[in-house]
Structure 1
Amino acid sequence: MNLWVEKGIWEPDIFKQKGTKKSYPKGTCLFMEHQPISDVYFILAGRIRAYLLSPTGEERHLFVVGSKSIIGECNVWSVESYTYSAAASTDIEVIRIPRTLFQETVRETPGLFERALQSMSQKQNALLVQTQLMSFSKIEERVMFVLVQLAETFGLSSGDCIFITIPFTHQELSQVVGASRVSVSNVMLSLQERGIVSKVNKQYLIHSMDALKLLT
């Protein structure tokens, strides 16, 4: 499971008549853990990150989802409150679907139960990967693991090099790996100095996937 899903498995036509189209700026919190479940969100554009929040305000990242993904669906049939928080990593455009309408749509539309189960399974697998990374890996290994995932999922090969086609910031990467932005920047600088990656604007070129995988 990729911790960063840029494009999901859902189609907007299913929900266009069921919900309300909304736009939110980067940083907007869509819902908080323990808040009563009111809506499920279909992402039309942008990215949303899921995370846990400690009583002292410390965040623990879970996963990132992009267009054609949904978020907030995992517990609509089992509990009354969200079990994680979700916020916009970029400016986003979404369809906000009330919980009961989402449930009715999934029940009434052939094939949607399977798609809902697939979506929830992806998120469950992401949580298992995050648990393993946070329990057994150093910051450097976590950063390189995510870079490999991004390259394999969104990479464009050119000879021995792979260009990661989606732009991202050190802040976004730090949220994914559960470390400070400064720590992630230091790791990325080290990889650049060793000639393993180079930066092109907000995108990265990996010069040797074999070398990067060897380090992880």
Structure 2
Amino acid sequence: MNKVLNLNNRDRNILVRSPLMADLTPSSLVKMLASASVLSFESRDILFRESDPADCFYSVLSGYVRLYRLNKDGREADIRVCGAGDTFGECLLTTGDSYDYNAQAAENITIARFNLQKVRQLAEQEHDIACAIIHCLSNDLRRTMACIANDRLQTAPQRVAQYLLENCQSAMGAASIRLPFQKSLLAGKLGLAPEALSRAFSSLRHSGVTVRGRMIQIEDVSALRQI
């Protein structure tokens, strides 16, 4: 069950630095913050379901939100995993009156909820808010195109290797990474079935990648780049 919270300093700072708000003028920022309400959800709570009437979009303040679709047989396909600072549902600011996917709390989360109609009105009044929305939609499109390209051009081990490299602090030598969420969520994020992710990690052992729970040990980052 969700709970309404007050906007604390930490959550405010995340919103202020998010792509949606980072470039707003002080007056527009105040208006956008005033239009937000803060909610908490427990792990596995459903925020909304595909085809539900849409009246809000969201920004993640803590935790992770899983966006996914279901087919008629109940099979799930993950679309995106959203973390702190990520916004989802904002495409409905320009078109659509129902959600195109399901949203579920992957763990205990805190989110900011924005009323679509109120933000539409603000965008009509404030040029920088309209530009920020366009910027977010553009980023979504570019991310989607990159995801499609990776799905078609990369093998499962290559997708996993790329994720590890993007989240690795070292450019060479040994490194370790702690996954921020369960491997089942990583599988969905990379467009893989859980068993395909396990096989990918197994194949990466030859490149010096060892998995222990959420901890990933990399013997040689340079070698991993050659996958």
Quickly name the TM-score band, shorter chain normalised. 0.7 to 0.9
List gaps (5 residues or longer) in structure 1.
1-6
User: Which shifted more, 113-122 or 12-21?
Assistant: 12-21
Moved more, 103-112 or 34-43: 103-112
Bigger proportion of residues as strand:
1
1:172 aligns with 2:189: no
Residue from 86, 103, 115 that aligns with 2:132 = 115
Superposed CA deviations along residues 166-202 of structure 1, whole A, max 9, x for unmatched, are 52321111111222223212322442x3253234662
Shift of 1:29: 2.2
CA gap 1:8/1:17 in 2 versus in 1, 3 angstroms: closer
1:66 is aligned to 2:80? no
Aligned to 2:12: none
Counterpart check, 1:9 vs 2:26: no
Match in the other structure for 2:206? 194
Q: Pairwise mapping of residues 21-100 of structure 1 onto structure 2 (< 5 A)?
A: 21-100=38-117
CA distance in 1: counterparts of 2:126 and 2:176, whole angstroms: 39
- The residue type equivalent to 1:171 in the other structure is S
Deviates more, 1:204-213 or 1:42-51: 204-213
Secondary structure of 1:111's counterpart equals helix
Structure 2: runs of 5 or more not aligned: 1-16, 22-28
Max Rg structure: 2
- Answering whether residue 190 of structure 2 is matched by residue 182 of structure 1, we say no
Give, in angstroms, the shift of residue 94 of structure 1: 0.8
2:226 and 2:48 mapped to 1: Cα distance? 39
* TM-score between the two structures when normalised by the length of structure 2: 0.75
| 1: CA distance, partners of 2:206 / 2:71 | 36
Indicate conservation of the 8 Å contact 1:45/1:66, yes or no: yes
Out of 50-59 and 171-180, give the one that drifted further. 50-59
Q: Which residue of 2 aligns with 1:143?
A: 160
Q: What is the CA distance between 1:212 and its match in structure 2?
A: 2.1
Give the whole-Å Cα distance in 1 for the aligned partners of 2:165 and 2:209. Answer: 11
Summarize the Cα distance change of 1:168–1:188 in structure 2 as closer, same or farther, 3 Å threshold: farther
Superposed CA RMSD? 2.7
Deviation at 1:148, TM superposition (A): 2.9
Any idea what SS the aligned residue of 1:167 has?
Answer: coil
Deviates more, 1:105-114 or 1:41-50: 105-114
% of aligned pairs identical? 21
Call closer, same or farther: CA 1:196–1:164 in 2, change over 3 Å. Answer: same
| Per-residue deviation, residues 4-55 of structure 1 (Å, max 9, x unmatched) | xxx8424586644213211011222222232221111121111223223222
1:160 aligned onto 2:170: no
Matched positions, count? 204
> C-alpha separation between the residues in 2 aligned to 1:181 and 1:139?
11
What is the CA deviation profile of residues 137-183 of structure 1, one whole-angstrom value per residue up to 9, with x for unaligned ones? 4332332233333x2xxx32275234446523211111112222232
Structure 1 pair 207/107, CA: closer, same or farther in 2 (3 Å)? farther
Moved more, 56-65 or 133-142: 133-142
Residue pair 1:40, 1:102 contacting (<8 A) in 2 also:
no
Q: Indicate conservation of the 8 Å contact 2:201/2:211, yes or no.
A: no
Report the alpha carbon displacement of residue 92 of structure 1 after superposing the two structures with TM: 0.9
